[in-house]
């Protein structure tokens, strides 16, 4: 992309996007690269970068676009962070910042060590670190799943 933006990014709605931005920086290490404020000082839009990924964080903006905190904790997506650093240390950092960890770090059959948590408004995050390169054949043998890839 000419402006360095990724082809795909996700937008997350929060009741309190300013608090969410501060939390995402502290817990996960995001960097705010754009902040758009409305005349009343509220956050209209923001972009946060982690590595080569970008998320957009903003306010709830319609009846169909809400924070999980406004809809009984329900989610229709999860966000995945792939990190190179120690996932156990990352999990401890997120927990110290207030993440509700509901799946402790564990090495998965596909070679990543992952944990899962919810942020203060209930968005679900999965964080993974590759600790072993596992072939499709080995994954199939370990799980009984059939794996097909293109490319």
CATH of 1-61, one of 3.30.1440.10, 3.30.720.120, 3.40.50.300, 3.40.190.10: 3.30.720.120
Domain boundaries, the chain: 1-61, 77-151
**Which tens digit of pLDDT belongs to each residue from 45-67?**
999 999 999 999 999 989 998 99
Bridge partners of 106, per DSSP, are 114
Section 59-85 average pLDDT:
92
Which pair of structure tokens corresponds to residue 136? 């499709």
**Which tens digit of pLDDT belongs to each residue from 93-112?**
999 999 999 999 999 999 99
Class of domain 77-151: alpha beta
- Alpha-carbon dihedral 127, 130, 135, 140, rounded to 10 degrees: -30
User: Parallel, antiparallel, or unpaired for β 124-130 and 78-83?
Assistant: parallel
Q: What is the pLDDT of residue 111?
A: 96
Same fold: 1-61 with 77-151? yes
Confidence of residue 1 (pLDDT cuts 50, 70, 90): very low
- Residues near 134 by beta carbon (within 8 Å), at least 6 away in sequence: 109, 110, 111
């Amino acid at each position: 992309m000419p402006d360095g933006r990724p082809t795909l990014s996700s937008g997350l709605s929060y009741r309190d996007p300013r608090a969410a931005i501060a939390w995402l920086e502290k817990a996960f290490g995001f960097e705010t690269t754009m902040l758009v404020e409305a005349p009343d000082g509220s956050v209209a839009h923001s972009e946060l970068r982690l590595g080569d990924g970008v998320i957009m964080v903003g306010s709830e903006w319609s009846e169909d676009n809400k924070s999980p905190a406004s809809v009984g904790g329900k989610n229709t997506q999860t966000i995945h962070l792939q990190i190179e650093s120690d996932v156990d240390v990352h999990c401890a950092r997120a927990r110290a910042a207030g993440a509700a960890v509901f799946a402790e770090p564990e090495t998965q059959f596909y070679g990543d060590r992952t944990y899962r948590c919810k942020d203060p408004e209930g968005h679900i995050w999965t964080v993974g670190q590759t600790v072993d390169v596992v072939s499709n054949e080995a994954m199939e043998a370990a799980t009984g799943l059939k794996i097909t890839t293109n490319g």
